[in-house]
């Protein structure tokens, strides 16, 4: 983070000692304060960890306080990302990424280079496979990965996390063969002879990642702490952290939850953890571990799945995909069990966040949430993750029920070239319908789903406005885009983002004005500082934020 601060101690004179109480009163002065709750001015007065006033610096200035000036900058509430996989991002920063590979040959050479550096017996896991950007325009199979090694297990995970490809050695190790049945909520792709091709979809990935995890290099608490500093560098003061209690495909080594709990006391930003668990017992013990973890980590609820992804053709749709008419996706909601899991998260004081991409999946999740609301549950504790393709009736139902749509505008940036091919021109009008959801009265929360997309909230804000050219009528205003990643995302993880007296001094200082900037200016805008509870997060030199 570039530092552009000048500090002045008002009224201090040489030789006069400055008491601690004096130093703890700080006036942060920029060109403007932008706050969705409506407060205006150019300065924020901070006493200890709290905001004590917001307004014009000329009115707030007084003797014996430290003034920190940021010319050209804007103070906004701390930016939050309501849906991010921190251990997945830490894993990405350690492992090969295939997002930039041009074709199958390049995939093989990236994997071969990584394979050479691994010790004997270790598994090779690579991330961010994207068949849509490969010359071949389809997924590779086990035969391509077998070119890299026939003995070392290899698992390559698609960037959406809902599809993976295993080589023959990995399939053998986890016992997937010709007669293996598809698991509930998943598919093992097979060739004309009935043999597994290596492509595993949805829950079919789990046995492979279970078996390979102990053979993969672990993500350590140090990796996660460095990753969290990178998140602060892009302006985030808190995240809705999606974390698997029992393993998780991105973790490697122990479970994702183990890594978060071990790192908790040293994490610089808040982690509102949404736990991915197998059953209510596992959820309850995860909640207890998080409550005892300390630091800025807390239990925030449960994360569940109702379908897959648009990219992987596993999103549950009412009608077939436009480019695969016979395919209507994968249902992952288990009626009784899903409701029981949701109820136990609410009982533990948490929220319920359910992944739904297709219009059929969103309908089923709204049904489930309507049941919970009918039982007296608070709709502000219920979130649908992604809410990608919706029927017109369900857009209205979102608003009527008051269920939060937790959206990731950055998906538009990576789906620009193929989204319409997948859903067709008619459904395209109600895919990521941000403005219509807002107009219906739906609470919106912004996120990235990183490492599916980059973690930068300013990029997400920009995409929510210009939609990378896709159905521009569904774009948000600059004010709504700022609210999406401040008040909206904060509310979805149980935090308050308003710059109001009495609130924690959790704020982000931007190198420009997010309201007057164009979307492209927003994409280039610098983050100057991030403060959490009155303390500046110092990002170590050389911290890596992201890589494609």
Residues that bind Zn ion (CB under 5 A): 449
Q: Which is nearer to Zn ion, 307 or 449 (CB)?
A: 449
Q: Which is nearer to Zn ion, 449 or 474 (CB)?
A: 449
Judged by DSSP in three states, 26 sits in: strand
Starting from the edge strand earliest in sequence, which strands make up the sheet with 404-407, in order?
79-84, 236-244, 270-276, 297-305, 351-356, 382-386, 404-407, 444-446
3-state helix, strand and coil shares in percent for the chain, rounded to the nearest 5: 35, 25, 45
Q: Shortest gap between Cβ of 508 and Zn ion (angstroms)?
A: 23
Q: Shortest gap between Cβ of 449 and Zn ion (angstroms)?
A: 4
Q: Shortest gap between Cβ of 308 and Zn ion (angstroms)?
A: 11
CA distance 145 to 168: 8
Length of the chain: 548
Q: Shortest gap between Cβ of 450 and Zn ion (angstroms)?
A: 9
The residues facing 33 across adjacent strands are 75
Q: Which is nearer to Zn ion, 86 or 198 (CB)?
A: 86
Q: Which is nearer to Zn ion, 131 or 449 (CB)?
A: 449
CA distance 437 to 435: 5
CA distance 210 to 491: 34
Q: Shortest gap between Cβ of 383 and Zn ion (angstroms)?
A: 12
Contact 274, 351 (CB under 8 A): yes
The closest of 354, 303, 304, 309 to 163, measured between CA atoms, is: 309
Q: Kindly report the CA angle at 248 between 243 and 252, in degrees rounded to 5?
A: 110
Q: Shortest gap between Cβ of 83 and Zn ion (angstroms)?
A: 6
Q: Shortest gap between Cβ of 241 and Zn ion (angstroms)?
A: 11
Contact 505, 531 (CB under 8 A): yes
The residues facing 200 across adjacent strands are 164, 188
Phi, psi of 353 (to 5 degrees): -120, 120
Contact 384, 425 (CB under 8 A): no
Q: Which is nearer to Zn ion, 108 or 219 (CB)?
A: 219
CA distance 461 to 452: 16
Residue nearest to Zn ion (CB): 449
Q: Which is nearer to Zn ion, 257 or 539 (CB)?
A: 257
Pairing of strands 154-158, 163-166: antiparallel
Q: Shortest gap between Cβ of 242 and Zn ion (angstroms)?
A: 5
Contact 330, 202 (CB under 8 A): yes
Q: Which is nearer to Zn ion, 77 or 488 (CB)?
A: 488
Q: Which is nearer to Zn ion, 449 or 495 (CB)?
A: 449
């Amino acid at each position: 983070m570039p530092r552009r601060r000048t500090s002045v101690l008002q009224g201090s004179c040489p030789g006069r000692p400055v008491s601690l109480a004096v130093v703890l009163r700080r006036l942060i002065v920029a060109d403007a304060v932008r706050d969705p709750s409506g407060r205006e001015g150019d300065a924020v007065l901070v006493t200890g960890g709290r905001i004590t006033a917001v307004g014009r610096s000329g009115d707030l200035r007084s003797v014996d306080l430290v003034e920190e000036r940021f010319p050209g900058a804007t103070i906004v509430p701390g930016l939050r990302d309501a849906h991010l996989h921190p251990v997945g991002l830490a894993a990405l920063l350690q492992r090969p990424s295939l997002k930039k590979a041009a074709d199958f040959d390049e995939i093989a050479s990236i994997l071969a280079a990584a394979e050479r550096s691994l010790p004997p017996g270790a598994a090779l896991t690579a991330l961010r496979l994207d068949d849509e950007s490969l010359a071949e325009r389809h997924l590779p199979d086990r035969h391509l990965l077998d070119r890299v090694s026939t003995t070392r297990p290899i698992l390559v995970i698609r960037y959406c996390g809902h599809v993976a490809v295993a080589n023959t050695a990995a399939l053998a190790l986890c016992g997937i063969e010709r007669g293996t049945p598809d698991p509930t909520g998943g598919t093992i792709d097979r060739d004309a002879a009935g043999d597994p091709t290596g492509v595993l979809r949805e829950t079919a990935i789990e046995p492979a990642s279970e078996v390979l995890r102990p053979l993969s290099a672990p993500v350590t608490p140090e990796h996660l702490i460095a990753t969290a500093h990178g998140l602060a560098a892009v302006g985030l003061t808190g995240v809705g952290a999606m974390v698997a209690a029992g393993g998780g495909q991105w973790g490697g080594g122990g479970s994702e939850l183990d890594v978060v709990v071990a790192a908790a006391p040293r994490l610089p930003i808040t982690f509102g953890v949404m736990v991915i668990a197998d059953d209510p017992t596992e959820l309850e013990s995860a909640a207890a571990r998080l409550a005892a973890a300390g630091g800025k980590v807390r239990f925030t609820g449960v994360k569940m799945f109702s379908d897959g992804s648009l990219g992987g053709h596993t999103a549950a749709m009412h009608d077939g995909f436009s480019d695969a008419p016979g395919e209507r996706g994968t249902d992952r909601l288990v009626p009784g069990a899903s409701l029981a899991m949701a109820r136990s998260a609410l009982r533990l004081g948490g929220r319920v966040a359910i992944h739904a991409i297709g219009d059929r999946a969103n309908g089923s999740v709204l049904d489930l949430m309507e049941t919970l609301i009918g039982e007296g549950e608070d709709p502000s504790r219920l979130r649908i993750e992604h809410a990608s393709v919706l029927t017109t009736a369900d857009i209205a139902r979102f608003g009527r029920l008051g269920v939060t749509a937790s959206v990731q505008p950055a998906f538009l940036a990576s789906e620009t070239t193929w989204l319409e091919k997948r859903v067709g021109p008619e459904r395209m009008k109600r895919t990521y319908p941000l403005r219509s959801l807002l107009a219906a009265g739906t609470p919106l929360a912004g996120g990235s789903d990183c490492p599916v997309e980059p973690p930068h909230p300013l990029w997400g804000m920009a995409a929510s406005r210009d939609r990378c050219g896709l159905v521009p009528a569904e774009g948000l205003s600059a004010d709504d885009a700022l609210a999406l990643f401040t008040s909206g995302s904060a509310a979805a993880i149980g935090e308050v983002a308003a710059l109001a007296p009495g609130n924690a001094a959790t704020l982000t200082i931007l190198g420009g004005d997010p309201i007057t900037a164009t979307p492209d200016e927003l994409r280039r805008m610098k983050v100057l500082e991030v403060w959490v509870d009155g303390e500046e997060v110092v990002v170590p030199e050389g911290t890596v934020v992201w890589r494609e």
